Structures are given as structure tokens and as C-alpha cells.
Chains A and B, each alone.
Chain A
Amino acid sequence: MDVLSNLLNGFQTALTFKNVYLCFIGCLWGTVVGVLPGIGPLAGITLLIPATFGMDATGAIIMLAGIYYGAMYGGSTTSILMNIPGESASVVTCIDGYQMARKGRGGAALFIAAWGSWIGGTLSIIGLMFLAPSLANFAVKFGPPEMFALLLIAFILLGSLGKGSFFKTVPMILFGLLVGTIGMDPLTGTMRFTHGIKDLYDGIGFIPVAMGAFGIGEILTSTEESLVRFVGKVKMRELLPNRDELRASWAPIFRGTGLGFLIGLLPGSAHVLSSFVSYTLEKRLSKKPEEFGTGRIEGVAGPETANNAASESAMIPFLGLGIPTGPAPAVMMIALLIHGVRPGPLFISEQPQVFWGLIASMYIGNLILIILNLPLVGLFVNLLRVPFRILFPVILLICLVGTYSVNSSVVELGILLFFGVLGYIFRKLDFDIAPFILAMIIGPTLEMSFRQSLMRSAGSFSIFLKSPIACTLIVMSCLLFLWNIFRAVRPKKAWEKALEEGE
């Protein structure tokens, strides 16, 4: 009953004209960035952060979350109709979705993708609604040792489940943690790595780093190839799936929901991982696995549902524990911090209108998205006709103005460009930039909890073993670390290679 009454209050917040409008703008922009290759959900969110400065925290998070899950819907459109994944989670949808479009069943594939996304998204929100408050209530008991142990296991999980090998992700995490130490030490007031630059006293800004690494980095990567993109005409023959297609897609949709929900709780590129695992699962369960790749509806329904369910359940550790499990929740966390709201165990009890307003807005957003992505799909496909050579200078300019508008600092513009180039180089070298950003954001909490624990125990490391929660988490971290070493040494399986290639 408590959940229901809170949800009703949430709907009161979300259903105001202003918040419905912001939710619509978020979903619309999310669909646009999902459709357009070269601008992912991360760049889409970071670009609009400066626009949230004049809003309250509820409106800001409603709009930014709309972009995140909206991009998951939009990403399927170009995958199915043009064999171009709008964002990384939609790579798998290209395989069977595009083959369906070639057979004249593109409309049906789009319908099933949108329908599956809606079911996966909505069921995942129900899980989020019940699980996040319980998790937060449990985490309220956490002191510095427990928080340190929790963040430690989160980093090791991030290393295990991120793109590429564990030993490629770990140095990125260490690098991010090191960058996170720049600025004034909160315990002693000592300046670290600031070199007398006043703009660095409060630490390096998250916005220029995230916008540079994701926004500028992505643009630089996209402009490497030809700036002229040809787009063929799209005929929407039949939007409604036939009875066989509907029957075949039910089970993959529900399996994709469960799978996506669970994978979304883990750190890493959950939405990408969930779509690959769902595709592999559907192929394994199919009576005709050899037909996968020739236009099977199950190959669209499962992965599209899974990536939407994962994107919604990724909000549970982010809102309940204050641990963003992926780069998109991390960027949303930056936005909330700018508005003076810190996600974590106390977030739901201290900011109920923000949390429940967001939950309610997600139900509304999923409805808006199904309307945007079915009858209006032709409109979004036309976006691909806007030449990229016009789009990219405008996006660059928005990144620059967006960063400048935060603190009116030219130093931050320099940081933006530096991390843009660094993000681009890391992409070229096949190192994942997301763990770097996550580590930079969570790093200060990890350091603080470690030092506070030692101060509390007068320098004894036994404090980490005295607490049952911290001890369990540290033992699990050690086991996971050893398992990762074993995994790195043994030869890779076929599906692991396929997942790496897809990423």
C-alpha cells in the first residue's frame, strides 16, 4: 500500500503540464539521438544537461531519463530499416531486423521492437519501484567500511563485465580514479594536482570530461569516415505483425524482460550485453536455429525487449545505492549532483518527490515512446536525410557552449577538448572509456570511505573484516578477481568473441 500511495504522489508530480512536457522533450530527443548514428544516448544526455540548469531536480531527471530510455527505442528503427545501428545495443537487431525489412516485413519488425520495448520497459519499472526502496533501506545501515567494500566489488564487476578484457578495463578504472583525486583533499584541505589553477580547486568538472570523452570523442570518430551518407527511400508496407509473428514473439519478449532486468543490475555495458545474451538465448532455444540471421522475429523481439528492460533496471543501484552501473546513469548522476541532489541510500526517503516523480514519469514516457515510434516512425527516418556534414559542426558548438555555460570557464573548455581527444584515442586503441568516467565519479567516495574506515579503527585493517557485510563483499571481490585472472588466461569461447566484436 505504501508503494501504491507513493506512486500516486509520484503521478501527481509527473502529470503536471511542465513535467509531461519535459518527459515528452526527453523522449523525443532520445528517439532522435537513437535514430541518428554517431550520437549515442550519452552524448544526447550530456548535450542537454546545461538546458536543465533552470529547472528543478525532478524536471531535470525526468527529461534526462527520457533521453536514456528513448534512445533504446529509437536505436531499433535504423537497425531494422537501414542496417545501421543507431546505438550500440541495437547492433544485434540489425541481424534479423534488416532481413525482415528486405522481405517486406520491416513494419512488423518495428511494431514488435516497440511493443517488446514497452513491455520490457514497463515491467522493469515495476521491479524498480519495489526493489530500489528496499535496497536503499538496507544500505542506510552502511558505514564507511561497508561502502568501501561495496564500491570495491562494483569496480571489480565493472572490470569483469565491461567491454574488452578485464586487464584492459582495470587500467581505465585506475586512470579514472586518479583523475578523480584532482582538487582539494576533503579531509585535510591539501591541493592535489591543481598546479595553482583556481578552476581545479573544486576538482575536475564532470561535465567537460563526460561531454569531451563521449560527445567530442564520438564526433571525431564519426568524422573519420566519409561525411556524406546516402539514405534510400523507406516504404512502410505493413505495420501490424501477422498472427504467426505475434505468437512467435511472446515468449522472447518475456524472456528478454527477465534477462534484461537482471543484467541491468550489474555494472558495465548492461544494455549491450543484455541484447547479445538474449539473442544467443533465443537462438539456442529455437527449433530452427539455422534460420536466425535470415529474418526471424525472435531475433528482434528478445534483444530489443532486453535492452529496454536493462536500461530501466540499471536505475536501481544508481538511485538506491548511489552507484551508477553504466555511463548513462553516471551522467544522470552528474546532473542530479549539479541540482544539489545526491542519489544514494537516503535519496528515496529525503527526496521522495524526485524518486516517485521519476518512476511515474517512466510509465508516461514509455507510453509517449510507443506513440512516437510507431505512427511517427517515418518522420524519424527522414532525420537520416540531414547530412552529417551539417550536423557535426552544430553538435560541436553545442558541446562547447554547454560546457562554458556551467562555470563560464575557458579552462573547462580546454579540459573538454583534452578529454575529447583522449576519448577519441582510447576508442581507436579499443579501450572502453565508460569505466574511466564511472571511476572518476565514484572515486572520491571510495577514497573517503577507505580513509574514514582506517581513521575509525586507528589504522587497523581488521575493520573491513569485523563487519559481516563488508567481510562478505571483500571475500566476494577477491574470488571475482581470481576468477577474472583465470578467465583472462583461458581461451575465449565463440560467444565471447562475438560479443567483443559486436561491442
Chain B
Amino acid sequence: MTKERGGSLIFLAAGIYGLVFSVQLPLGKWNQPGPAVFPLSLSILLCLFGMGWFIRGKGAGKKQGSVRLRGFVQKFMTPIRIVGLTAAFILTFEFLGYLLASTIYLFILFLWVSRYRLWAALALAIAFGAGSWLFFEKLLATPLPRGFLS
């Protein structure tokens, strides 16, 4: 798939989403434009641009770099791992509490993504996890979740 086509699919998806949900809103009249006018117009334009880029993207593959899905997953394993870990951190953040969740999150990142040895990863995770907790909670007085331990 070419880069142009990849982009076009995002624009088409956003445009279709906008169309589906903005047609349910009141359109109003010209002297009293409703809340649907702006998002509906934008969605139609996005769909048009998405279709334009999709058609144009067919010929651009030979000239410019194309993205293949299988190669994409293999080549970009590190970002995929980071996104997965971050999603897990977000889901467990309030239940585990900041201190525990951040230490576990950093430990797995240092061990699995940064490829540090077990003890080095653990030491770095504890140092940065506790250090960031002290910095945000104590110094900046940021309210952070304490989790089930509290």
C-alpha cells in the first residue's frame, strides 16, 4: 500500500465517521446555522480528499516508498511494544496506583524494549519510578492515584 493510500484511508474513515454522526444533528437554517453545518461540511470535504488521495495513490507507488503490512509489523516492533505497554499502564494506572504502576511500566520498558539486564532494569525502574513520584507528588503537588495499597 502506498503512503498516499494509507493517509487516504485515515481521511476517509474520519470523513465517514463525521458524516454518520453529524447528519443526526440539527442543520438549522441559513439565518440560524445549526451545530451540524460545520462538521457536516468538513466531513464531506474530508471524504472527497480521502477519495482523491486514494485514486492518486495508485500511481504514486512506483515513484515513492510504499508500506507493506507484514514488513511494517516486523520493522516497527519496538513502537508496537511501547504502545501495548503504555495501553496496559493506562488501564491499570488507577487500580495499582502511580508508584507501583510506573515502576512496573518502567521495569518492563527497560528490560523488554531497552534490553537492560534484569538487575539494571529493576534498579533504573525503582530509581526513576520513585524519583518521578517524589517530583510530581511532593514537589509539584500533582494529585496522583494511590491505588489499592491505600
Contact = CB atoms under 8 A, between A and B. Distances in A.
B21 A459 contact: no
Contacts of B71: none
Interface in A185-205: 185, 187-188, 190, 192-193
Contacts of B11: 171, 174-175
A175 B46 contact: yes
B142 A167 contact: no
A394 B76 CA distance: 20
A401 B42 contact: no
Contact of A397 (B32, B67, B128): B128
A178 interface: yes
Contacts of A181: 38-39, 42
Contacts of B124: 390
B109 A393 contact: yes
Interface in B34-83: 34-35, 37-39, 42-43, 45-46, 49-50, 52-53, 67, 75-76, 78-79, 82-83
Interface in A436-486: 447, 450-451, 454-455, 457-460
A410 B34 CA distance: 32
A397 B106 contact: yes
Contact of A224 (B21, B75, B98): B75
Given A175-B14, A426-B7, A167 B37 contact: no
How many chain B residues sit at the interface, stated as a range, is: 35 or more
Contacts of A450: 33, 38
Nearest to B137: A401
A455 B7 contact: no
B79 A390 contact: no
Contact of A400 (B22, B53, B90): B90
Given A50-B142, A167-B52, A417 B26 contact: no
A178 B142 contact: no
B82 A223 contact: yes
Interface stretch (A67-75, A237-245, A308-316, A427-435): A427-435
Contact of A459 (B10, B26, B29, B79): B29
A263 to B, nearest CB: 27
Contacts of B33: 450-451, 454-455
B6 A421 contact: no
B136 A410 contact: no
B137 to A, nearest CB: 10
B56 to A, nearest CB: 8
How many chain A residues sit at the interface, stated as a range, is: 35 or more
A427 B97 CA distance: 33
B78 A430 contact: no
A224 B78 contact: yes
Interface string A413-431: 1100100111011101111
Contacts of A385: none
Contacts of A417: 83, 86-87, 90
A171 B93 contact: no
A405 B113 contact: no
Contacts of B30: 454, 459-460
B118 interface: no
Interface of B: 3-4, 6-7, 10-11, 14, 18, 21-22, 25-26, 29-35, 37-39, 42-43, 45-46, 49-50, 52-53, 67, 75-76, 78-79, 82-83, 86-87, 89-90, 93-94, 98, 102, 105-106, 109-110, 113-116, 124, 128, 132, 136, 140-145
Given A220-B79, A396-B82, A458-B31, 13 more contacts: A167-B53, A171-B7, A171-B50, A178-B39, A178-B43, A188-B26, A192-B35, A193-B18, A389-B114, A390-B114, A408-B143, A410-B93, A450-B33
Interface of A: 50-51, 53-54, 167-168, 170-171, 174-175, 177-178, 181, 185, 187-188, 190, 192-193, 216, 219-221, 223-224, 227, 389-390, 392-394, 396-398, 400-401, 404-405, 408, 410, 413-414, 417, 420-422, 424-426, 428-431, 447, 450-451, 454-455, 457-460
Closest 7 CB pairs of A and B: A459-B30, A459-B31, A389-B114, A185-B35, A171-B49, A393-B109, A220-B79
